[in-house]
A and B are shown apart, each in its own frame.
Chain A
Amino acid sequence: MPAPRSTTRIRTHPLGEAALLAELGTRLDTALNTRAIALAAALKKRRDVRQAIAGYASVTVHFDPDQTSLEALTAAIRRLASKRPPMAEPGRLHRIPVVYDGPDLEAVSAVLGLDAAKIVEIHTRPIYRVFFVGFVPGWGYLGPLPEELELPRRHVPRTKVPAGSVAIAGRQTGIYSLATPGGWHLIGRTAVKLFLPDSDPPSLFRAGDRVKFFAAQG
């Protein structure tokens, strides 16, 4: 039996007069994200669209208001989204070595009631999806993180997290691509560079890629 077509209507909201946010849903969900990435790719081909960026379950569209309007683009988005998305190609698989000695590993272990070895085992188990790349150059939003490791963000964010830190928060995991402030729990580190300023695109990860972590020795 064919999968039932989503009947949820995409909602669009203006982001000023030259951009809009198209919301496909509100859940962290691989199928929604696949649709968002396909929709962004289709929109980018339009002459009246300057840029389309997929989020977890949304697309932010920058358009030329001299060529189209919020209403016209909303209609076009709903039309595009009602089409069966093209078979998503499995994204490239990245294998990332991690030294699991992060400064928050002990605290995470205490809160979750799991020993460090168990946390490593759970964190390295899934093949994560790169939902999208953003926030800072090269940062990939990876998930879903297994429920056993789900934690709210730190109450007090760090003012500087070292580049290469492997972190978890909510149902997400990620790698700090640059030294930035951050509120996620740091459980390890990797030497793999995610932000590649002299490559084009300058990011190792692209939306839709897959990531597998494995434990490495420091």
Chain B
Amino acid sequence: MSEVLRVEKPGLFTTIQDLGRPNAMPAGVPAGGAMDRFAHRAANLLTGNNEGAATLECTVNGPALVALRPCLVAIAGADFDPHVNGRPAPMWTGMLMSEGDELSFAGRRGGARAYIAVAGGIAGDRWLGSMSTNLLAARGGMHGRLVSRGDVISVAGLPGALAISGRHLSQGYRPDYANHSLPAIAGPHVRRLGPEGRKALFGSVFRVSRDADRMGYRLEGPMLELSGDELLSFGLVSGAVQVPRGGQPILLMADHQTAGGYPVVATVAGAALPVAAQLLPGDELSFSEVGVETALRQRAAQRVALDSLKS
């Protein structure tokens, strides 16, 4: 392990995340992991890492980080207007920082979550097979807590080949974060909505409420009325749209509860979860019904985009 970055300012809510701990779900522990996995994977590939290496997930604004040694860094996801030593720095691009260089962010221009990868992969506490931070259990990542001022970020492996500095993801391969129409597949309990309710689900605009975090987003919009008895609890997945009594839907995100008993009326396609991860309270969204085939095509297209970064 070698120390690469010192945290001058932590940003509002910065955590270490990787692809999570799905194997811990049978113990009731959320799988967790990066909310926008496309940006997380892209940032890693741009620095020569495996897609599953840990990155910094920065929410709403970015940190200020000073390089303690030369390192290759990439920023992907939300645009918080990155700068190095006060000069604008590119996103979706592997860039070399020299010792003493400062990476900072001028302010949010769009999106909710930016990812910072460092060649070698960011090091953190490993808990139940993952370095992802779980704040509830206070485990994983930066000792189970938010990254804070004065922390030193280390890399887990050998800093990768610095020769790949300058690699970038083509514009056409970057997610369209401004398109908040989320493709979604009808869920197991969609029939409980009835034809009118289904029309409301797939034809209305919803708004992300203030009750929105890494567990999920409570949505405001038309009340969805469901029929039928209470369900027995069952295992849940990221992207599921569940409707509790009261009819205000909840979109489940990376730190969602492993099980619950509310009807699931839709599940957002995997390829659209990165867009969902970039939503903030007040943002509008809608669900457009798609079939499994369409969702698989979108998933394959994202794979092509990520594979363009491998060589």
Contacts and interface: CB of A to CB of B under 8 A. Distances in A.
Interface of A: 13-19, 21, 23, 26-28, 50-51, 53-60, 62, 65, 70, 132-139, 141, 170, 177-178, 195, 197, 200-203, 206-207
B54 to A, nearest CB: 19
B237 A16 contact: yes
A55 B136 contact: no
Interface residues of B, number: 42
B247 to A, nearest CB: 17
A60 B258 CA distance: 10
Given A132-B259, A133-B28, A197-B137, A62 B22 contact: yes
Contact of B264 (A15, A27, A28, A136): A15
B278 interface: no
B38 to A, nearest CB: 15
A13 B26 CA distance: 20
A7 B233 CA distance: 23
Question: Which residue among A13, A17, A50 has the maximum number of chain B CB atoms within 10 Å of its CB?
Answer: A17
Interface string B232-251: 11111101100000000000
Contact of B267 (A15, A65, A203, A206): A15
A144 to B, nearest CB: 12
Contact of A65 (B188, B233, B257, B299): B299
Contact of B185 (A16, A54, A58, A178): A16
Contacts of B267: 14-16, 19
A29 to B, nearest CB: 9
Contacts of B25: 51, 53, 134
Given A51-B23, A201-B27, A202-B24, 7 more contacts: A14-B185, A15-B188, A15-B264, A16-B239, A19-B237, A135-B257, A206-B26
27 contacts: A14-B188, A14-B267, A16-B237, A16-B240, A16-B267, A16-B270, A17-B269, A17-B299, A21-B188, A21-B235, A21-B264, A28-B232, A53-B258, A55-B234, A56-B233, A60-B236, A60-B237, A134-B235, A135-B28, A137-B29, A177-B28, A195-B28, A195-B137, A197-B137, A197-B138, A200-B128, A203-B27
Contacts of A65: 296, 299
Contacts, number: 134
A202 B128 contact: yes
A141 B233 contact: yes
B31 to A, nearest CB: 8
B6 interface: no
Contacts of B295: 16-17
A200 B230 CA distance: 33
Contacts of A16: 185, 237, 239-240, 267-270, 295
A185 to B, nearest CB: 16
Interface string B18-53: 000011111111100000000000000000000000
A16 B239 CA distance: 8
Interface string B150-180: 0000000000000000000000000000000
A50 B230 CA distance: 29
Nearest 5 A-B pairs (CB), nearest first? A60-B235, A134-B259, A55-B234, A13-B188, A53-B235
Question: Which residue among A26, A55, A70, A178 has the maximum number of chain B CB atoms within 10 Å of its CB?
Answer: A55
Given A62-B237, A200-B128, A17 B27 contact: no
Given A51-B25, A133-B27, A17 B188 contact: no
B123 to A, nearest CB: 20
A55 B262 CA distance: 13
B237 A58 contact: no
A172 to B, nearest CB: 9
Given A28-B232, A58-B232, A137 B27 contact: yes
A202 B257 CA distance: 16
A73 to B, nearest CB: 12
A15 B233 contact: no
B86 interface: no
Nearest to A59: B235
Nearest to A65: B296
B298 to A, nearest CB: 9
